Amino acid sequence: MATQHSRTSARIMVAPAVFVLLVWMLVPLCMTLYFSFADYRPLRATFDAWIGFDNYVSFLTSDSFLSSVGVTLQMVAGILCITIGGGVVLALLLDQPMFGQGIVRILVIAPFFVMPTVSALVWKNMFFNVDNGLFSYLWRFFGAQPYDFLSQAPLFSIIVIVAWQWLPFATLILLTAVQSLSSEQLEAAEMDGAPPLSRFWHIILPHLSRAITVVILIQTIFLLSIFAEIFVTTNGAFGTRTLTYLVYQRVLESQNIGLGSAGGIVAVILANVVAIFLMRIVGKNLDN
Amino acid sequence: MGRITLDRVQKKFGDVEVIPPLDLIIEDGEFVVFVGPSGCGKSTLLRLIAGLEDVSGGEIRIDGRPATDLPPAKRGLAMVFQSYALYPHMSVRKNIAFPLKMAGMAQDEQDRRIAKAATALNLTDYLDRRPGQLSGGQRQRVAIGRAIVREPAAFLFDEPLSNLDAALRVGMRMEISELHKTLATTMIYVTHDQVEAMTMADKIVVLRAGHVEQVGSPLELYKTPRNTFVAGFIGSPKMNLLTGAAAAAHGAATIGIRPEHLDVVDSGGTFTGRVGVAEHLGSDTFFHVHVPEMAEPMTVRAGGEVGLTHGDTIHLTPRAAHIHRFDAQGLRIA
Ligand SMILES: Nc1ncnc2c1ncn2[C@@H]1O[C@H](COP(=O)(O)OP(=O)(O)OP(=O)(O)O)[C@@H](O)[C@H]1O
Ligand SMILES: [Mg+2]
pLDDT value at B104 more than 80: yes
pLDDT band at residue A81, thresholds of 50, 70 and 90? very high
Each residue of B55-88: pLDDT tens digit? 999 999 999 889 999 999 889 899 999 888 999 9
Instruction: Please give the Cα distance from B92 to B142 (Å, whole number).
Output: 7
Mutation to probe ligand 1, out of B9, B40, B82, B188 (largest number of atoms < 8 A from CB): B40
Q: Rounded to the nearest 10 degrees, how much is the dihedral formed by the CA atoms of B270, B276, B279, B283? A: 30
CA distance B84 to chain A (A): 8
Say whether the peptide bond before residue B237 is cis (omega within 30 degrees of 0): yes
- The number of the ligand 1 atom at minimal distance from the alpha carbon of B40 is 21
pLDDT computed for residue B128 by the predictor: 92
pLDDT value at A288 more than 70: no
pLDDT computed for residue B52 by the predictor: 92
Higher pLDDT, B282 or A189: A189
Mutation to probe ligand 1, out of B33, B42, B205, B211 (largest number of atoms < 8 A from CB): B42
Kindly report, as residue ranges, where domains of CATH 3.40.50.300 are found in chain B: 4-230
Instruction: Give the largest Cα separation in chain A, rounded.
Output: 77
Each residue of B223-246: pLDDT tens digit? 999 999 999 999 888 999 998 888
Contact A192 B73 (CB under 8 A): yes
pLDDT computed for residue A240 by the predictor: 81
Instruction: Please give the Cα distance from B245 to B294 (Å, whole number).
Output: 10
pLDDT computed for residue A151 by the predictor: 78
Indicate if ligand 1 lies below 6 Å from the C-beta of B40: yes
- The number of the ligand 1 atom at minimal distance from the alpha carbon of B36 is 21
Contact B102 A198 (CB under 8 A): yes
Residues at Cβ < 5 Å from ligand 2 ion: B 43
Kindly report, as residue ranges, where domains of CATH 2.40.50.140 are found in chain B: 237-326
pLDDT computed for residue B91 by the predictor: 92
- The number of the ligand 1 atom at minimal distance from the alpha carbon of B37 is 25
Mutation to probe ligand 1, out of B13, B79, B158 (largest number of atoms < 8 A from CB): B13
What is the reported pTM? Answer: 0.80
User: Which numbered ligand comes closest to the C-alpha of B18?
Assistant: 1
pLDDT computed for residue A274 by the predictor: 86
pLDDT value at A197 more than 80: yes
pLDDT computed for residue A217 by the predictor: 86
- Among B85, B102, B146, select the one facing A184 at the smallest CB separation: B85
CATH topology of domain A51-287: MetI-like fold (1.10.3720)
The phi, psi pair for B316, rounded to 5°, reads -125, 145
Q: Does A288 touch chain B (CB under 8 A)?
A: yes
Q: A259: buried, middle or exposed (CB in 10 Å: 19+, 13-18, 0-12)?
A: buried
pLDDT value at A2 more than 70: no
- The number of the ligand 1 atom at minimal distance from the alpha carbon of B45 is 18
Each residue of B5-56: pLDDT tens digit? 999 999 999 899 999 999 999 999 999 999 999 889 999 999 999 999 999 9
Provide, as residue numbers in chain B, all residues whose Cβ is less than 8 Å from the Cβ of A185: 85-87
Q: What is the ipTM of this complex?
A: 0.83
pLDDT band at residue B112, thresholds of 50, 70 and 90? very high
Provide, as residue numbers in chain B, all residues whose Cβ is less than 8 Å from the Cβ of A194: 73, 98, 102
Each residue of B121-172: pLDDT tens digit? 888 999 999 998 998 889 989 999 999 998 899 999 999 888 888 888 888 8
Each residue of B296-314: pLDDT tens digit? 899 999 887 777 888 888 8
Question: Cα of A74 to ligand 2 centre, how many Å?
Answer: 52
Each residue of A239-284: pLDDT tens digit? 788 888 888 888 877 788 888 888 889 888 988 888 888 888 777 7
Instruction: Please give the Cα distance from B9 to B205 (Å, whole number).
Output: 15
**DSSP H helical ranges for A123-226:** 134-141, 149-152, 154-179, 183-191, 196-199, 205-223
pLDDT computed for residue B168 by the predictor: 85
Q: Does A117 touch chain B (CB under 8 A)?
A: no
Indicate if ligand 1 lies below 6 Å from the C-beta of B192: yes
Number of residues that this document lists for chain B: 334
pLDDT band at residue A95, thresholds of 50, 70 and 90? confident
pLDDT value at A52 more than 60: yes
Task: For chain A, give the mean pLDDT.
Answer: 86
Contact A188 B77 (CB under 8 A): no
Q: How many CB atoms lie within 10 A of CB B119?
A: 10
Q: Does A209 touch chain B (CB under 8 A)?
A: yes
Instruction: Please give the Cα distance from B78 to B158 (Å, whole number).
Output: 11
Each residue of A203-245: pLDDT tens digit? 999 999 889 988 988 898 888 888 888 888 887 777 788 888 8
Between the alpha carbon of residue A142 and those of residues A60, A136, A147, B296, the distances in Å are: 47, 10, 12, 83
CATH topology of domain B4-230: Rossmann fold (3.40.50)
Indicate if ligand 1 lies below 6 Å from the C-beta of B38: yes
Whether the CB-CB separation of B172 and B164 falls below 8 Å is answered with: yes
pLDDT computed for residue A178 by the predictor: 93
Which residue, B187, B255, B185, B224, is CA-closest to B46?
B187
Cβ contacts of residue A91 below 8 Å, gap of 6+? A171, A174, A175, A177, A178
Domain B237-326 has CATH 3.40.50.2000: no
The conformational region for residue B91 under phi > 0 = left, psi -120 to 50 = alpha, else beta, is beta
pLDDT computed for residue A244 by the predictor: 85
Indicate if ligand 1 lies below 6 Å from the C-beta of B210: no
Each residue of A10-47: pLDDT tens digit? 889 999 999 998 898 888 888 888 888 888 887 777 77
Each residue of A126-147: pLDDT tens digit? 888 877 888 888 888 888 777 7
C-beta contacts of A62-69 below 8 A and 24+ residues apart: A64/A241, A64/A246, A65/A243, A65/A246, A65/A263, A65/A266, A67/A239, A67/A241, A68/A241, A68/A242, A68/A243, A68/A245, A68/A246, A69/A243, A69/A270
Query: Tell me, what DSSP letter sits at residue B260?
Result: G
Q: What is the mean pLDDT of residues B197-211?
A: 92
Dihedral sign of CA atoms B64, B70, B75, B81 in order:
positive
